[in-house]
Amino acid sequence: MSSERPSVELCKGIYGLDKVVLREIRGTSAEVYLYGGQVTSWKNDHGEELLFLSSKAVFKPPKAIRGGIPICFPQFGSHGTLEQHGFARNKLWSIDTDPPPFPTNSSSKAFIDLILKSSDEDFKLWPHSYEFRLRVALGPGGDLMLTSRIRNTNTDGKPFTFTFAYHTYFLVSDISEVRVEGLETLDYLDNLRERERFTEQGDAITFEGEVDKVYVSTPTKIAILDHEKKRTFVLRKDGLPDAVVWNPWDRKAKAIPDLGDDDYKHMLCVEAAAVEKPITLKPGEEWRGRQELSAVPSSYCSGQLDPQKVLHGS
Protein backbone atom coordinates (compact mmCIF):
# COMPACT_ATOMS: atom_id res chain seq x y z
CA MET A 1 0.00 0.00 0.00
CA SER A 2 1.65 3.27 -1.02
CA SER A 3 0.89 6.37 0.99
CA GLU A 4 0.98 9.97 -0.22
CA ARG A 5 3.47 11.12 2.32
CA PRO A 6 5.92 9.52 4.74
CA SER A 7 4.31 8.63 8.05
CA VAL A 8 5.27 7.60 11.55
CA GLU A 9 2.58 5.85 13.60
CA LEU A 10 2.72 4.61 17.17
CA CYS A 11 0.47 1.59 17.75
CA LYS A 12 0.16 -1.67 19.65
CA GLY A 13 1.96 -4.75 18.45
CA ILE A 14 2.06 -8.36 19.57
CA TYR A 15 1.42 -8.94 23.31
CA GLY A 16 0.26 -5.31 23.56
CA LEU A 17 3.81 -4.00 23.18
CA ASP A 18 4.23 -0.52 21.70
CA LYS A 19 5.56 -0.39 18.17
CA VAL A 20 6.26 2.35 15.67
CA VAL A 21 5.40 1.88 11.99
CA LEU A 22 7.40 3.93 9.47
CA ARG A 23 5.99 4.28 5.95
CA GLU A 24 7.51 5.88 2.88
CA ILE A 25 5.69 7.16 -0.20
CA ARG A 26 6.45 4.21 -2.48
CA GLY A 27 4.92 1.80 0.01
CA THR A 28 8.07 0.67 1.79
CA SER A 29 7.71 0.27 5.56
CA ALA A 30 9.47 -0.72 8.75
CA GLU A 31 8.30 -1.64 12.24
CA VAL A 32 10.21 -0.92 15.43
CA TYR A 33 9.29 -2.27 18.86
CA LEU A 34 10.07 -0.08 21.84
CA TYR A 35 10.86 -3.35 23.56
CA GLY A 36 14.53 -3.89 22.67
CA GLY A 37 14.53 -0.84 20.37
CA GLN A 38 14.17 -3.62 17.85
CA VAL A 39 13.28 -3.43 14.18
CA THR A 40 11.06 -6.45 13.48
CA SER A 41 9.93 -5.77 9.92
CA TRP A 42 11.23 -4.07 6.79
CA LYS A 43 9.18 -4.30 3.60
CA ASN A 44 9.92 -3.25 0.04
CA ASP A 45 7.56 -1.37 -2.27
CA HIS A 46 5.83 -4.66 -3.21
CA GLY A 47 5.02 -5.25 0.44
CA GLU A 48 7.51 -8.16 0.58
CA GLU A 49 9.15 -8.79 3.94
CA LEU A 50 12.95 -8.53 3.88
CA LEU A 51 13.82 -9.46 7.47
CA PHE A 52 13.44 -12.86 9.09
CA LEU A 53 11.24 -13.09 12.16
CA SER A 54 10.93 -16.50 13.79
CA SER A 55 7.49 -18.07 13.70
CA LYS A 56 8.18 -18.98 17.33
CA ALA A 57 9.41 -15.53 18.37
CA VAL A 58 8.34 -14.68 21.92
CA PHE A 59 7.17 -11.09 22.35
CA LYS A 60 7.12 -11.34 26.08
CA PRO A 61 9.69 -9.48 28.19
CA PRO A 62 12.30 -10.32 29.34
CA LYS A 63 12.82 -12.74 26.42
CA ALA A 64 14.56 -11.09 23.46
CA ILE A 65 12.61 -11.15 20.18
CA ARG A 66 14.09 -13.73 17.76
CA GLY A 67 14.47 -11.98 14.42
CA GLY A 68 14.56 -8.53 12.87
CA ILE A 69 17.46 -6.46 14.18
CA PRO A 70 18.22 -7.01 17.88
CA ILE A 71 20.73 -4.56 19.36
CA CYS A 72 23.64 -6.20 21.17
CA PHE A 73 24.97 -3.80 23.83
CA PRO A 74 27.00 -3.42 26.02
CA GLN A 75 28.34 -6.89 25.29
CA PHE A 76 28.35 -8.88 22.09
CA GLY A 77 28.17 -12.67 22.59
CA SER A 78 29.07 -14.42 25.79
CA HIS A 79 32.59 -13.07 26.32
CA GLY A 80 32.21 -10.89 29.39
CA THR A 81 30.38 -10.74 32.65
CA LEU A 82 26.94 -9.91 31.25
CA GLU A 83 24.20 -12.07 29.78
CA GLN A 84 24.66 -13.15 26.14
CA HIS A 85 24.51 -10.09 23.83
CA GLY A 86 24.02 -7.66 26.74
CA PHE A 87 20.82 -6.21 28.11
CA ALA A 88 19.72 -3.56 25.56
CA ARG A 89 17.68 -6.09 23.56
CA ASN A 90 15.45 -6.88 26.50
CA LYS A 91 14.86 -3.42 27.85
CA LEU A 92 11.93 -1.12 27.23
CA TRP A 93 13.20 1.88 25.26
CA SER A 94 11.45 5.27 25.16
CA ILE A 95 10.68 7.62 22.32
CA ASP A 96 13.23 10.42 22.35
CA THR A 97 11.14 13.52 21.75
CA ASP A 98 14.03 15.97 21.78
CA PRO A 99 17.15 14.30 20.38
CA PRO A 100 20.31 16.37 19.93
CA PRO A 101 20.73 17.56 16.33
CA PHE A 102 21.56 14.92 13.79
CA PRO A 103 24.50 15.87 11.57
CA THR A 104 23.58 13.59 8.65
CA ASN A 105 21.98 15.30 5.67
CA SER A 106 19.50 12.48 5.22
CA SER A 107 16.35 13.36 3.30
CA SER A 108 14.38 10.78 5.27
CA LYS A 109 11.11 11.95 6.80
CA ALA A 110 10.01 8.57 8.11
CA PHE A 111 12.14 8.09 11.18
CA ILE A 112 11.89 7.55 14.90
CA ASP A 113 14.34 8.40 17.68
CA LEU A 114 14.53 6.06 20.64
CA ILE A 115 16.51 6.30 23.84
CA LEU A 116 17.72 3.90 26.48
CA LYS A 117 19.28 5.16 29.70
CA SER A 118 20.98 3.31 32.50
CA SER A 119 18.62 2.02 35.18
CA ASP A 120 19.23 1.01 38.78
CA GLU A 121 18.67 -2.59 37.74
CA ASP A 122 21.38 -2.50 35.03
CA PHE A 123 23.69 -0.56 37.31
CA LYS A 124 24.08 -3.63 39.53
CA LEU A 125 25.41 -5.61 36.55
CA TRP A 126 27.17 -2.83 34.67
CA PRO A 127 27.96 0.08 36.99
CA HIS A 128 27.92 2.85 34.40
CA SER A 129 25.69 5.66 33.40
CA TYR A 130 24.98 6.01 29.68
CA GLU A 131 22.56 7.40 27.13
CA PHE A 132 21.97 5.26 24.07
CA ARG A 133 20.13 7.07 21.26
CA LEU A 134 18.94 5.06 18.31
CA ARG A 135 17.50 6.56 15.14
CA VAL A 136 15.69 4.20 12.77
CA ALA A 137 14.99 5.82 9.41
CA LEU A 138 13.44 4.69 6.16
CA GLY A 139 14.91 6.49 3.14
CA PRO A 140 12.71 7.67 0.26
CA GLY A 141 14.01 4.71 -1.80
CA GLY A 142 13.21 2.23 0.99
CA ASP A 143 16.70 1.95 2.50
CA LEU A 144 16.70 1.15 6.21
CA MET A 145 19.16 3.17 8.28
CA LEU A 146 20.04 2.62 11.92
CA THR A 147 22.27 5.07 13.74
CA SER A 148 23.37 4.54 17.34
CA ARG A 149 24.85 7.26 19.48
CA ILE A 150 26.16 6.09 22.84
CA ARG A 151 27.35 8.60 25.40
CA ASN A 152 29.19 8.05 28.65
CA THR A 153 27.30 10.07 31.30
CA ASN A 154 29.26 8.74 34.28
CA THR A 155 29.68 11.37 36.99
CA ASP A 156 32.41 9.43 38.82
CA GLY A 157 35.02 10.22 36.13
CA LYS A 158 35.23 6.58 34.99
CA PRO A 159 35.45 5.44 31.38
CA PHE A 160 33.46 2.42 30.18
CA THR A 161 34.10 -0.20 27.56
CA PHE A 162 31.59 -2.08 25.41
CA THR A 163 31.15 -4.28 22.37
CA PHE A 164 28.24 -3.90 19.98
CA ALA A 165 26.33 -5.43 17.07
CA TYR A 166 23.29 -4.84 14.90
CA HIS A 167 22.24 -8.50 14.89
CA THR A 168 20.41 -8.38 11.54
CA TYR A 169 18.42 -11.46 10.49
CA PHE A 170 18.03 -11.32 6.69
CA LEU A 171 15.15 -13.28 5.20
CA VAL A 172 16.45 -15.57 2.43
CA SER A 173 14.63 -18.07 0.23
CA ASP A 174 17.11 -20.94 0.70
CA ILE A 175 20.34 -20.64 2.69
CA SER A 176 22.06 -23.17 0.38
CA GLU A 177 21.57 -20.77 -2.52
CA VAL A 178 22.90 -17.70 -0.71
CA ARG A 179 26.36 -16.19 -0.95
CA VAL A 180 28.03 -13.35 0.81
CA GLU A 181 30.50 -11.09 -0.99
CA GLY A 182 32.89 -8.67 0.66
CA LEU A 183 34.39 -10.93 3.35
CA GLU A 184 36.47 -13.39 1.31
CA THR A 185 40.21 -13.57 2.18
CA LEU A 186 39.65 -11.74 5.49
CA ASP A 187 40.61 -12.91 8.98
CA TYR A 188 37.87 -14.15 11.27
CA LEU A 189 37.46 -15.38 14.84
CA ASP A 190 35.60 -18.67 14.83
CA ASN A 191 33.04 -18.80 17.64
CA LEU A 192 32.70 -22.55 17.03
CA ARG A 193 36.42 -23.01 17.85
CA GLU A 194 36.86 -20.87 20.94
CA ARG A 195 37.37 -17.71 18.90
CA GLU A 196 40.52 -19.04 17.22
CA ARG A 197 41.70 -16.82 14.35
CA PHE A 198 41.60 -18.09 10.75
CA THR A 199 41.81 -16.57 7.29
CA GLU A 200 38.87 -17.01 4.93
CA GLN A 201 39.84 -18.65 1.68
CA GLY A 202 38.94 -18.10 -1.91
CA ASP A 203 35.66 -17.09 -3.31
CA ALA A 204 32.43 -15.63 -1.96
CA ILE A 205 31.09 -17.29 1.20
CA THR A 206 28.46 -20.01 0.77
CA PHE A 207 26.67 -22.13 3.37
CA GLU A 208 26.69 -25.89 3.92
CA GLY A 209 26.55 -26.12 7.70
CA GLU A 210 26.63 -24.18 10.94
CA VAL A 211 28.63 -20.97 10.85
CA ASP A 212 29.42 -18.50 13.63
CA LYS A 213 32.30 -16.21 12.65
CA VAL A 214 33.43 -12.71 13.51
CA TYR A 215 35.18 -11.26 10.44
CA VAL A 216 37.52 -8.53 11.63
CA SER A 217 38.34 -5.16 10.06
CA THR A 218 36.11 -5.65 7.05
CA PRO A 219 35.36 -3.21 4.24
CA THR A 220 32.33 -1.01 4.83
CA LYS A 221 30.19 -2.72 2.18
CA ILE A 222 28.97 -6.33 2.23
CA ALA A 223 26.51 -7.98 -0.15
CA ILE A 224 24.20 -10.89 0.56
CA LEU A 225 23.01 -12.47 -2.68
CA ASP A 226 19.80 -14.48 -2.66
CA HIS A 227 20.06 -16.43 -5.89
CA GLU A 228 16.52 -17.81 -5.87
CA LYS A 229 14.87 -14.46 -5.19
CA LYS A 230 17.32 -12.67 -7.52
CA ARG A 231 17.69 -10.19 -4.71
CA THR A 232 20.83 -8.67 -3.21
CA PHE A 233 20.96 -7.04 0.19
CA VAL A 234 23.66 -4.42 0.45
CA LEU A 235 24.87 -3.66 3.96
CA ARG A 236 26.90 -0.49 4.49
CA LYS A 237 28.39 0.28 7.86
CA ASP A 238 30.29 3.02 9.55
CA GLY A 239 32.06 2.97 12.93
CA LEU A 240 31.61 -0.81 13.04
CA PRO A 241 34.81 -2.51 11.86
CA ASP A 242 33.71 -6.15 12.21
CA ALA A 243 30.99 -8.33 10.68
CA VAL A 244 29.49 -11.40 12.33
CA VAL A 245 28.03 -14.16 10.15
CA TRP A 246 25.75 -16.66 11.89
CA ASN A 247 23.49 -19.51 10.87
CA PRO A 248 22.75 -22.23 13.43
CA TRP A 249 21.94 -24.93 10.80
CA ASP A 250 19.69 -27.88 11.58
CA ARG A 251 21.06 -29.36 14.80
CA LYS A 252 21.49 -26.11 16.70
CA ALA A 253 18.22 -24.69 15.35
CA LYS A 254 16.39 -27.60 17.02
CA ALA A 255 17.99 -26.66 20.33
CA ILE A 256 16.79 -23.04 20.16
CA PRO A 257 13.27 -23.00 21.63
CA ASP A 258 12.08 -19.86 19.83
CA LEU A 259 13.28 -20.94 16.40
CA GLY A 260 11.34 -23.34 14.15
CA ASP A 261 13.23 -26.53 13.15
CA ASP A 262 13.49 -25.46 9.49
CA ASP A 263 13.78 -21.72 10.08
CA TYR A 264 17.55 -21.83 9.61
CA LYS A 265 16.95 -22.38 5.87
CA HIS A 266 15.32 -18.98 5.56
CA MET A 267 17.56 -16.79 7.68
CA LEU A 268 21.09 -15.49 7.64
CA CYS A 269 22.54 -13.14 10.23
CA VAL A 270 25.14 -10.70 8.95
CA GLU A 271 25.87 -8.29 11.74
CA ALA A 272 27.69 -4.97 11.57
CA ALA A 273 29.68 -5.08 14.80
CA ALA A 274 32.51 -3.84 17.00
CA VAL A 275 33.75 -6.99 18.72
CA GLU A 276 37.47 -7.61 18.33
CA LYS A 277 38.50 -4.21 19.71
CA PRO A 278 36.04 -3.05 22.37
CA ILE A 279 35.14 0.63 22.38
CA THR A 280 36.10 2.79 25.35
CA LEU A 281 34.39 6.10 26.12
CA LYS A 282 35.50 8.61 28.71
CA PRO A 283 32.82 10.62 30.54
CA GLY A 284 31.23 13.06 28.10
CA GLU A 285 32.44 11.17 25.01
CA GLU A 286 30.06 9.83 22.40
CA TRP A 287 30.43 6.93 19.96
CA ARG A 288 28.49 6.56 16.77
CA GLY A 289 27.79 3.38 14.76
CA ARG A 290 25.68 3.25 11.64
CA GLN A 291 24.22 0.53 9.45
CA GLU A 292 22.39 1.09 6.19
CA LEU A 293 20.54 -1.68 4.35
CA SER A 294 19.18 -1.73 0.84
CA ALA A 295 17.65 -4.50 -1.26
CA VAL A 296 18.37 -4.39 -5.00
CA PRO A 297 18.04 -6.76 -7.99
CA SER A 298 20.88 -9.33 -7.93
CA SER A 299 22.59 -8.35 -11.16
CA TYR A 300 23.75 -5.20 -9.34
CA CYS A 301 26.97 -6.12 -7.61
CA SER A 302 28.01 -9.74 -8.03
CA GLY A 303 31.80 -10.03 -7.96
CA GLN A 304 32.46 -6.36 -7.29
CA LEU A 305 33.18 -6.58 -3.60
CA ASP A 306 36.52 -8.40 -3.44
CA PRO A 307 37.85 -6.99 -0.12
CA GLN A 308 41.43 -6.83 -1.41
CA LYS A 309 40.28 -4.57 -4.23
CA VAL A 310 38.08 -2.48 -1.98
CA LEU A 311 40.76 -2.09 0.68
CA HIS A 312 43.84 -1.72 -1.51
CA GLY A 313 42.32 -0.58 -4.79
CA SER A 314 44.19 -3.25 -6.80
| Residue 72 or 281 having the CB closest to ligand BG6 | 72
| CB distance 149 to 163 below 8 Å | no
State the minimum distance, in angstroms, from the CB of residue 40 to ligand BG6. 14
| Closer by beta carbon to ligand BG6, 82 or else 244 | 244
What's at 103, amino acid-wise? P
| Contact between 15 and 59 (Cβ < 8 Å) | yes
Q: Smallest distance from the beta carbon of 259 to ligand BG6, in angstroms?
A: 8
Shortest distance (Å) from residue 62 CB to ligand BG6: 13
Q: Minimum distance from CB of 142 to ligand BG6 (Å)?
A: 26
Instruction: Report the distance separating Cα 236 and Cα 268, nearest Å.
Output: 16
- What is the Cα–Cα distance from 122 to 96, expressed in whole angstroms? 20
Of 24, 271, 276, 292, which one is the catalytic site residue?
A: 271
Is the CB of 268 or the CB of 269 nearer to ligand BG6? Answer: 269
Q: CB under 8 Å to 308, separation ≥6 — which residues?
A: 185, 314
Shortest Å distance, C-beta 60 to ligand BG6: 15
Q: Which is nearer to ligand BG6, 24 or 212 (CB)?
A: 212
Is residue 266 part of the annotated active site? The answer reads no
Q: Name which of 142 and 248 has its Cβ closer to ligand BG6.
A: 248
- Report the Cα–Cα distance between both ends of the chain, in Å, rounded: 45
- The closest alpha carbon to 143, from 35, 290, 258, 247, belongs to 290
Q: For residues 302 and 181, is the Cβ–Cβ distance under 8 A? A: yes
> Rounded CA gap, 76 and 31, in Å?
23
Catalytic residue among 24, 167, 184, 276: 167
State in angstroms the smallest separation of the CB of 212 from ligand BG6.
5
Q: Which residues bind ligand BG6 (CB under 6 A)?
A: 77, 84-85, 167, 191, 212, 244, 246, 269, 271
- Show contacts of 43-48: CB within 8 Å, 24+ apart: 44/142, 44/295, 45/2, 45/142, 47/1
Q: Residue 4 burial (CB < 10 Å; 0-12/13-18/19+)?
A: exposed
**Is 271 assigned a catalytic role?**
yes
Question: Which of residues 134 and 253 has its CB atom nearest to ligand BG6 in the complex?
Answer: 253
Nearest to 146, CA basis, from 270, 267, 235, 260: 235
Residues designated catalytic: 167, 271
